[in-house]
Each structure stands twice: as structure tokens, then as C-alpha cells.
Structure 1
């Protein structure tokens, strides 16, 4: 087998690690979201790329370029994997909206747009506040956030990942993604 120039070997290892770690980050996030088949498929590809990358490091002479390529590819791959996962936006999120005065209006606007909104009251630092809970597909979070801030620009909005357990109301286009548990 032909031996690569150390700089080219470092570049090759860098790109292999970027691919490897991007896939590994996606795999981990798929596992956390319960996407078993997707996690398994991505994990298989990731493992193959890892074997090639580690083989390139271990079979050639150890030099600063392959070490830098390996370490740099690791970090870059993690960043790229997170970016890709955010772009894919798989799954659902639970928005919690805190509004001092316009909670009912926010809930009404969300319902008009086809989203389920549950509203309750609580006592905050400055008195009574409305809390609106709304489960949405992660791809739609930006749209929903815009609807909310159009009604109350001062609303405090948080987001949690959601794992569906049982029943509830979701937009009709979201029901197939939740499975049998969703109802209208």
C-alpha cells in the first residue's frame, strides 16, 4: 500500500473523523429520540468510517499532522453533527410560554393556527402570569414562536424535548408522526 505524504494523511484523517463524528452525534441524538432503526443504520455507517479513520492513523507513521487531523476532525464533526441535527429537526418539542397579560390571546392565536394550547395561571416574581403549553413539531418551532411574539413581544418562551407517552391533541398533519396515541 502506498504511503501518503504526512500532510495529506492528516487531511484525510481529518475528513474521515468529521464524517465519523457527525454521524456519531446524529446517532446519539436519534437514540435519545427513540429512533431505533435510524440510530442503528447511522451507527453502522459511522462504525465503518471510524475503522477506516483509525486504520489510517495506526498503519502510517505517527506524526503531528495525523494527530491534529484526528483531534480537529473530532471537534469539527461534533459541531457539524449538531448543526445537521438542528437542520433535520426530528421530533417534537413542548413550548412553555409565560405571559403576564396576554396568555388568553396567545392561546387563541395558536388554536386558530391549528395548534393545541393548554393555558393555566401561576404566580411569578411580579405577580400572576399565564402559562401556555403547546406541543409542536420541531420544524415548526420558528413559525410558532413568531405567532407568539406577534401577540406578546415580551413573552418568555422555553422549549423542552418531548417523548410522546399517551393520547392528546396535535395538529392533524402531526398525528401520523406521533402514531396511534394522537387523536383529534
Structure 2
């Protein structure tokens, strides 16, 4: 009997982890405009939800089932957000302000495949170089590292645009130049050095 209770707790726990993870991913897909994939995922998600909730409600007098349901829900949120980070859907726009108005900053970022629009601006302490950079979310960290290598004191603000339409920016980024550049860098690092 104790073994059956343990199996029931494990099933409820796992079902809720899967359900909430799928729920989190579905919400993100919906927000990103991928409604058909989100609808397909929600069909599976609701079946899992009903089964898990049914198991808990059928055995409501067993407190361990309720605890397993709650713990599975919490862990599902964590796992769902980790899955979303790995998927890294969509784009971000990064606004950078550098106290060094040297145009080479912009060129170095463009050479890595990022779409950049730059202009001169004036701050409290003088001339600045301001840039707006578009990147797929999966390259966000690489972009921050690149900016930090060029100008560790650069002021950075990023946000996720709701809609992107037209322009050189989108074509440049969609061509995969960033990925191509990163693959080339990995190949360079893997080459044995000449002695």
C-alpha cells in the first residue's frame, strides 16, 4: 500500500512538472506570435492537466498528493523558464551609448554580423556615440561581451521589440551572419597553434 502511495505521489509530481513547463512554453509561444504551435501544445497540455488534477481530486484526503501537486507546479515553472531561455525566441534591441565617439565601435559590431544604426549624441560630459543594435535573443550574451570588450564603460539598455518590419537590419540578421561569424570563431579556436 505504501508503495502505491509513493507511485501516486511520483506520478502527480511528474505530471505537474510536465504540465506547467508546457504551460510556460505555450504562453511564450503565444506572446511571440506562434499561435499554431501554441494551440497544438495546449491540446497536449490540457490532457496532462486534467489527468493530474483528476488524480489529486480523486485522492483529496491524501495530503502528500496535494503537496506533490504543489511542488511539481513550482518546479514546472522553473523548468519551463529554463526551456524558454534555451529556445531564446525572438529578437532584442540593444541601445548602447559610448563615451568614445569613435566610429570604429560601430564597424567592429557590424563585422560580427549585427545590425547597427549609429549616430552622434551629446551627453552631460560631451560627445557620445549612440547605437541601436538588433540581435536574435540567442546571441544576446555574446553581444554584451563584445560591447564590454570594446568599451567596458558603455551604457547599455535592452528591450524586446513587439514588431519588426523591413529595413536592412532584419535582412542582415536573418542572413545568419552572426551565427556564421561565431562558427568561424569556434573553428579558429579549435585549430592547433603552430609551434
TM-score (norm 2): 0.79
Q: Which runs of 5+ in 2 are unaligned?
A: 177-195
Q: Where does residue 108 of structure 2 map in the other structure?
A: 109
1:153-183 deviation digits (Å, cap 9, x = unpaired): 222323211233421223546159xxxxxxx
What SS does the corresponding residue of 1:117 show, helix, strand or coil? Answer: strand
Is 1:159 paired with 2:158? yes
Q: How does 1:44-63 map to 2 (within 5 A)?
A: 44-63=43-62
- Distance, in Å, in 1 between the alignment partners of 2:143 and 2:171 is 12
Task: Tell me what 1:42 maps to.
Answer: 41
Aligned in 2, Cα 1:9/1:151: closer, same or farther, shift over 3 Å? Answer: same
2:165, 2:172 → 1: CA distance?
16
5+ long unaligned stretches in structure 1: 177-184
- Contact kept, 8 Å, 2:100 with 2:129, in 1: the verdict is yes
Distance in structure 1 (CA, Å) of the matches to 2:48 and 2:64: 19
Deviation track 1:48-107 (CA, whole Å, cap 9, x = no partner) reads 110111111112243221111111111110111011000011111111112222563331
CA distance in 2, matches of 1:133, 1:157: 10
Change (3 A) 1:16 1:107: same
Report the RMSD for the aligned CA atoms in angstroms: 2.5
* Cα deviation 1:123-174 (Å, max 9, x = unaligned): 5565554321111111122222222122112223232112334212235461
Tell me the matched-pair count. Answer: 175
2:116 is equivalent to residue 80 of structure 1: no
Secondary structure of the structure 1 residue equivalent to 2:160: strand
CA, structure 1 residues 151+5, in 2 after alignment: closer, same or farther (shift >3 Å)?
Answer: same
Bigger mean CA offset, 79-88 vs 90-99: 90-99
